[in-house]
Amino acid sequence: MERHEAIVIGGGLNGLTAAAYLARAGVDVLLVERNEVLGSAAAGYEIEPGFHMSRFALGTMTLPARTVFDLELRKFGLNVVQLDGGVSLMPDGRYHASYRDGLMYRRELARHSAKDADAWTRFRRDMLRANLSLARALSEPMKNPSRRSFSALRNLLGSADRLAAMPSDDMQDVLKIWTQPCADFLDSYFISDVLKAHLAAKALGGTTLGPYAPTSARFLMNMFKAESEGANGGAPATVLAIGGSQAVANALAASIEANGGHVRTEAEVTDVILRDGKARGVALANGEEIHAKAVLSDLDLKRTFLALFPWKDLPKGFVERVGCFRMRGVTAKINIALDALPQFSALPDDCPALAGGVRAVLPMADLDQAFDDWRNNMPPREPLVETLIPSMVDRTLAPHGKHVMSVAVHYVPETLHDGAWTQARKDDLADLAVSTLAAHSVGLKDRIIALEVLVPPDIENEVGLTAGDFEQGEMALDQMFFNRPMPGLAGYETPIDNFYLCSGSAHPGALETGGAGAGAARRVVSALGKSAAAKRGLTP
């Protein structure tokens, strides 16, 4: 019988990251993936012969630079480029372009408002400060405050003291960014509606909150990652992996195998083998059983516990608590092959920011309307559309002169209030999104060679993300930090011994791609009693 030290179920970026860190720490790890290709939501495909693109995700590179460095992904073929931060187009034809260079960006901001050009300095400072304190919080393992242990209590009392030592202005700054509505927060810095619409769209696209909802301001700081930090105070950059997100998955797999781990695709796990209430391995769909001392799941919380286990083996009340975990799809994906590069009439010729993606953004009230449509299970009447044409930079993706365009439509509900997602309604959605873009780009429709629409239920079926939720559980305050996936389960452990959650449903979730994988790997290495030397191979 096949036997490993650890098994990772699912080859999404978190699962791959977990396996790669485990392999580096000397753990004999096997990663099993149901599909033919690795990457899960990051997987790529050929939409038409010769047109390669990320099928589900937009296709930007989100893995932190630290992970790329730790796992030597550059050595395993990953090539990352930094681009300007893209262009936002308002329905009335005005636009805002994000330049990485601070001097250029200042001139762009001054085009909207001289005051905003200056206010940007302070906004950026506040975002970077907030991100620094968040990064500090993420670098420590999350403790369960409810577990009655001396260390947990000491931890809590320590944070109480740290909080108390903060000047109250600083504390209010923290509270503001974590609790205010995005729109109010932006209003306290800026006056240009174009700039505010751009920032709100960039921050809120893919989240389950609208611009007027409390606690939506915090998504603004997620844009200011170290990887996307512009030069001399410019706008955050778009980061792209050459070869698309599939290339990231491939590099991770190469890293796993180079460190003695194993990766197996087309192997679907049907059950986790339990003995004496402890996980002992997995059973595959083909009847094969593989044993291991530790099993990690890269599936979301609901899929993990509602599909891999008989409910009777779970503690009383646990299934209900899993059921309360909110997972809601918000994004539809449209993949398009184009026979030429679209031109955007509002933009000046050769705008370098174009490569970083084009957004059709909405004034704040309309953005909120799109959000409310989503809450009411309606397709958005005016959609927030985000696109990326990676073939502008990565020429290997499409035949010469032709392009692939990755389109994300935000605030698209998983279920409709008046029936199911039929092909006709999917086509309507695609038509709406393409028309929205075509309003800025005459002739776009005529350039389309091929088009595929994936609404949240499609994403659920194809990738296995419950409700089509890319974040594997809403990133709401009550489902973050020690509450992720639920209070009492913050440390990647589960009620089943030897069974760990390493997916985005675990802390830090969507705050950091691969973060949950790295954290779970650290937890498993210490559980397996690996030597201190091996542990040092992991990021602190």
Partner 1 sequence: MNDDTDTTISDGPPPFDNEPKAAPSDDTMIAAIDDGPTPEPVGHVDLAAIDAVTQADPALFENENTKPPFSRQVMTTPLHFYVASESLTNLWCHWNGYTVAQCLTSIEDEYAALRQSAALSDISPLVKYRISGPDALPWLRRFVTGNLETLLVDAIIPVVFCEDRGFVVGDGMLFRLGDNEFRLITEETYLAWLLDSTIGYQVHIEDVSTTLAAMSLQGPLSCTILAEAGLSGIENLRPYSAHWFDVAGMPVYVSRSGSSGDLGYELWLDPDDAPSLWLRLLAKGKPFGVKPGGFTLREIARVEAGIPRAGVDYLGVFSAIDPQSVLTPYELGFSALVDLEGAHFTGRDALRAAKAGAPRHILATLAVDWYQPLRFTAIRDASSIVGVVTSSVFSPMLGINLAMATLNPSAIVSGTDLHVEAEMRAELSLQIVKVPARIIAGSALLLPARHLVPAPLGMRP
Partner 2 sequence: MTQPDHIYDVIVVGAGHNGLIAAAYLGKAGRRVLLLEASTHLGGALTTAEVSPDYRASTAAHLLEALPRRIEKDLKLARHGLRYAVRRVQTIALDHDLNHIMLSTRRADIDILRRHSAADAEAYAAYAARMKAYAALLGPMLHGQLPSDDAQSVARRLRRLVWRGERMGPERLEALMRQLPGSIGDWLDNTFETPLLKGALALDAMLGNAVGPYEAGTALTSIGRQSLRGLSGGPHMVEGGLGGFIDALAAAAASFGVVIKAATGVKKILVDHGKVYGVTTHHDETYEAPIILSSAHPRETILNLVGAKHFDAGLVKQVNDIVDTGVTAKLNLSLDGLPTIQGLAPHGYNARFLIAPSLAGLDDAFTAFKHGNFASDIPMEVTIPSVADAPLVPHGQHVMSIVMQYVPYSAEGGWEQHRDRLVDRAIETFSQYAPDLRTRIVAGELMLPPDIERKFGLANGGWYHGDMRMDQMFAFRPTPALARYATPVEGLYLCGAGSHPGGGICGLPGEYAAHAALIRGGRGR
Report the distance separating Cα 245 and Cα 251, nearest Å. Answer: 10
226 binds, among partner 1, partner 2, none (CB under 5 to 8 A by kind): none
Residue 293 φ/ψ, nearest 5 degrees = -80, -25
Question: Does 215 participate in binding partner 2 (rule CB under 8 A)?
Answer: yes
Task: Annotate each residue in 487-526 with x if it binds partner 2 (CB under 8 A) or - if it does not, as one string.
Answer: xx--------------------------------------
Which residues of the chain form contacts with partner 1 (CB under 8 A)?
94, 97, 99, 103-108, 110-119, 121-122, 125, 128-129, 132, 167, 169-170, 189, 191-192, 233, 348, 350-353
Question: Does 149 participate in binding partner 2 (rule CB under 8 A)?
Answer: no
Options 1-9, 175-183, 291-299, 380-388: segment touching partner 2 (CB under 8 A): 175-183
Report the distance separating Cα 397 and Cα 243, nearest Å. Answer: 7
- CB neighbourhood size of 63 (10 A): 27
Closer Cβ to partner 1, 105 or 492, answer by number:
105
Region 438-477 residues binding partner 2, contact defined as CB under 8 A? 476-477
Closer Cβ to partner 1, 111 or 176, answer by number:
111
Closer Cβ to partner 2, 226 or 477, answer by number:
477
Interstrand relation of 269-275 and 278-284 (parallel, antiparallel or unpaired): antiparallel
Report the distance separating Cα 94 and Cα 196, nearest Å. Answer: 13
Q: Which residues contact 301 (CB under 8 A, 6 or more apart)?
A: 322, 325, 327, 472, 473, 485, 486, 501, 503, 505
3-state secondary structure of 450: strand
Closer Cβ to partner 1, 188 or 376, answer by number:
188
Considering only residues 114, 171, 191, 340, which one is a binding residue for partner 2 as defined by CB under 8 A? 171
Closer Cβ to partner 1, 185 or 500, answer by number:
185
3-state secondary structure of 298: coil
Closer Cβ to partner 1, 347 or 416, answer by number:
347
In this structure, what token pair is assigned to residue 212? 């007027």
Distances (CA, A) of 518 to 13, 17, 67: 10, 6, 9
Report the distance separating Cα 47 and Cα 336, nearest Å. Answer: 8
Closer Cβ to partner 1, 182 or 355, answer by number:
355
Report the distance separating Cα 455 and Cα 274, nearest Å. Answer: 36
Question: Does 184 participate in binding partner 2 (rule CB under 8 A)?
Answer: yes
340 binds, among partner 2, partner 1, none (CB under 5 to 8 A by kind): none
Considering only residues 483, 526, 535, 537, which one is a binding residue for partner 2 as defined by CB under 8 A? 483
Considering only residues 213, 354, 362, 437, which one is a binding residue for partner 2 as defined by CB under 8 A? 213
Closer Cβ to partner 2, 300 or 366, answer by number:
366
How does DSSP classify residue 207?
S
Closer Cβ to partner 2, 91 or 488, answer by number:
488
**Long-range contacts of range 388-391, CB-CB < 8 Å, 24 or more positions apart?**
388/58, 388/59, 388/60, 388/86, 388/238, 388/240, 388/356, 388/357, 388/358, 389/338, 389/341, 389/342, 389/354, 389/355, 389/357, 389/358, 390/53, 390/54, 390/59, 390/240, 390/244
Min separation Cβ 193 and partner 2, Å: 17
Task: Annotate each residue in 360-399 with x if it binds partner 2 (CB under 8 A) or - if it does not, as one string.
Answer: -----x--xx--x--xx-----------------------
Min separation Cβ 324 and partner 2, Å: 5
Region 299-358 residues binding partner 2, contact defined as CB under 8 A? 324, 326
What one-letter code names the amino acid at 301?
L
Distances (CA, A) of 405 to 256, 355, 411, 444: 31, 11, 19, 11
| Residues found near partner 2 in the complex (CB under 8 A) | 145-148, 153, 156-157, 160-161, 163-165, 167-169, 171-172, 175-176, 179-180, 184, 188, 212-215, 324, 326, 365, 368-369, 372, 375-376, 476-478, 482-483, 486-488
